[in-house]
Amino acid sequence: MVITTVGRDTDNNPSGMERHMTIKKTLLASVIGAAMTSAALAPAAQAETTLRMAYDADPVSLDIHQQLSGGILQLSHMTFDPLVRWNKDLEIEPRLATGWERVDDTTLRMNLREDVEFHSGNTFTAKDVVWTIERLKRSPDFKAIFEPIESASAVDEHTVEIKTKKPYPLLLNLATYIFPMDSQFYSGEDESGKDKGTISKQGSTYASSHLSGTGPYEVTDRQQGVRVVFERNDEYWDEQSPGNVDKIELTPISENATRVAALLSGDVDFIAPVPPNDLERVREDDNAKLVTMTGTRIIYFYMNQDRVEPFKDKRVRQAFAYAINQEGIADRLMKGFATPAAQFSPEGYAGHNPELKPRYDLEKAKQLMAEAGYEDGFEITMMAPNNRYVNDAKIAQAIAAMLARINVTVDLKTLPKAQYWGELDDRAADMMMLGWHADTEDSANFFEYMTACPDPETGAGQYNASNYCNPELDKLVADANVELDKQKRAEMLQQAEKIVYDDAAVIMLHWQDLAWAADTNVDLEPIVNVMNFPYLGDLVVEEED
């Protein structure tokens, strides 16, 4: 823990003036007074609390609309505030939006917090929300998930109305992605004559290197790939926040072992992610503590029905499902660092169906294969990345071994992720591995991308490498997407999961766990969540004795 001493008095008031007035009181007393005052002030001067943290990568840009990725979202939570956010129990809590009410099926009115300032000093108003939503709809990465929103308008300074094209039950989910940006700050022309609000994937833009938000931290120094320095926003609106970290130094350490070593040697105070191989090491260290949580990223395998004739038969697919021992993999291969799954939705999601459990039964698998006429099995090709998901290559090998028991010979190829995505797009193998996390934190997202009948025009089933097509399922999901009643909607989605389960559309494996580690006096637990957006603004670090 690095503690630097900066002159501040206990009330966090600028102490300069006070001090001078005290000293100037009497000439005689000034000498004594100076000594006494400074002596009195010295112990009262508060140390600045700095958190040194290491992620595996630093934010690729300061423009939070440039890319939809975990890293950018983590940055957003540090430097901006969303309208609403998920708490630990996956409930919505108000942030810059203090309340909301449904005006009609397609309109939601939100009340905005007052007395909030951006880092630049500009005041936060509804105009900024509207500006931000319009920008989100322009962003190549975000526009897809913001497609349901038709428009946004400012009713008054602190009220905004959002209209959707159709009744859309996930508007609040979507609102967690709306981090109002300082519209004034990002308006106008920059040095090269471009509009400051330009979003670009390549080439440097104003927004990619300048940031003004309402969030708990400001970016004070940034060297891409080396370090980002954040300093506490003194004017932060959330006075209820218990967070006491004044300064954060974020350094990316891509090498797993080095990141852990940095924590254990005391060079950093907080790291994420913690590789599964080092979990024990961190647990055993007296000066570090480990926090783990079930994640929401599902790891699974496609079975390409177009390439492999047998995959068209439901019994074969089910046989495969019965042949896979998810619990064994989670337990022994992942060393408990995964939660075995039989469906897309993790617990907490609307569509999570408690009835659906992993169904490892080798006998049943053989029986089904025999029934379908494939007692002697067949050959298939399999591809998986080797540096993207935790133990991805090893999992693929384990699966191949398990399938061998039902006489399916697997020709396995593992590739670095850079090459793998191209192959995935080409549907290059009979079975392919993928990991997915729903951007909306909602179940419908899974079906839309993975199981919907592939339609290049609408973009449905973009990742449906199975070419699985069940119009009934698609209709169910579409209906759920306009169902505003939460209860009803949840039932529909759970039904959808059951369909996928019965059809064995894909082979589910597990949800990857999340792990963070920190120095013992960093109170990590309250601020981490399943989405892996640590709310660092609320982080409390205890002083060292």
Partner 1 sequence: MIAFLIKRLFHALLVMFVISVIAFAIQDNLGDPIQQMVGQSVPESEREALREELGLNDPFLVQYLRFAVNAAHFDFGYSYVFNQPTTDVVLRHLPATLELVAATTFLIIALSVPIGVYSAIKPRAWLSRFFMGVSIVGISIPVFLTAIVLIQIFAIGVSWSPFPADTGWGAWLNDLISTEGGMPAYGRGDPVHVFGTWETNFASLEGLTYLVLPAISLASIMLPLFIRLIRAEMLEVLQSDYVKFARAKGISPRRIYFLHALKNTMLPVITVGGVQIGTLVAYTILTETVFQWPGMGLMFLDAIERSDIPLIVTYLMIVGLIFVITNTLVDLIYGLINPTVKLTGKPA
> By the criterion CB under 8 A, which residues form the site for partner 1?
60-61, 67-69, 140-141, 143-145, 200-205, 208, 224-226, 251-255, 257-258, 261-262, 264-267, 387, 416-419, 421-422, 425, 436, 439, 445, 449, 456, 459, 462-463
CB of 226 to partner 1, least distance (A): 5
What residues pair up with 385 in beta bridges, in sequence order? 415
CA nearest neighbour of 53 among 238, 235, 272: 272
Chain Cα centroid distance, residue 240? 24
Residue placing its CB nearer to partner 1 in the complex, 63 or 128 = 63
Q: Specify the amino acid at residue 426.
A: D
Report the SS3 class of residue 67: coil
Show the tokens assigned to 246.
């004044």
Distance, in Å, from the CA atom of 324 to the CA atom of 402, rounded to the nearest integer, reads: 6
Spatial separation of the C-alpha atoms in residues 71 and 89, rounded to whole Å: 22
Q: Which C-beta is closer to partner 1: that of 336 or that of 459?
A: 459
Q: How far is the CB of 93 from partner 1 (least distance, A)?
A: 25
For partner 1, the closer of residues 216 and 435 by Cβ is 435
Residue with tokens 């001493």: 5
Whole-number Å distance between alpha carbons of 17 and 217: 27
Give 142 or 374: the residue with its C-beta nearer to partner 1: 142
Residue 439 CB, nearest distance to partner 1 (Å)?
5
For partner 1, give the closer residue by CB, 353 or 481: 481
| CB closer to partner 1, 60 vs 540 | 60
CA atoms within 13 A on the CB side of 490: 9
| Shortest Å, Cβ 440 to partner 1 | 9
Q: How far is the CB of 27 from partner 1 (least distance, A)?
A: 44
**Residue 16 vs 459, nearer CB to partner 1:** 459
- Give the CA-trace dihedral at 154, 160, 166, 168, to 10 degrees: 160
CB of 106 to partner 1, least distance (A): 23
Of 251 and 326, nearer to partner 1 (C-beta) is 251
Sign of CA dihedral 485, 87, 96, 271: negative
3-state secondary structure of 196: coil
| Pick 143 or 394: Cβ nearer partner 1 | 143
Strand pairing of 507-519 and 522-523? unpaired
If the CB atoms of residues 202 and 240 are measured against partner 1, the closer one turns out to be 202
Per-residue 3-state assignment (H helix, E strand, C coil) for 491-511: HHHHHHHHHHHHHCCCEEEEE
Least distance in angstroms from the C-beta of 216 to partner 1: 25
CA distance 541 to 545: 12
The DSSP secondary-structure symbol of 333 reads I
For residue 117, the minimal CB distance to partner 1 (Å) is 29
Tracing tokens 């300048």 back to the chain, one arrives at: 210
User: Using CA atoms, how far apart are residues 316 and 94, in angstroms rounded to an integer?
Assistant: 48
The encoded tokens of residue 461 equal 């089933």
Minimal CA–CA distance to 159: which of 65, 216, 83?
83
| Residues β-bridged to residue 509 | none
Structure letter (DSSP) for residue 184: T
Minimum CB–partner distance for residue 330 and partner 1 (Å): 23
Q: Least distance (Å) from partner 1 to the CB of residue 421?
A: 4
Taking the CA atoms of 306, 309, 315 and 321 in sequence, report the sign of the dihedral they define: negative
Q: In whole angstroms, how close is the CB of 68 to partner 1 at the nearest point?
A: 3
Identify whether the C-beta of residue 72 lies closer than 8 Å to the C-beta of residue 241.
no
Our CB check for partner 1 shows the closer of 158 and 437 to be: 437
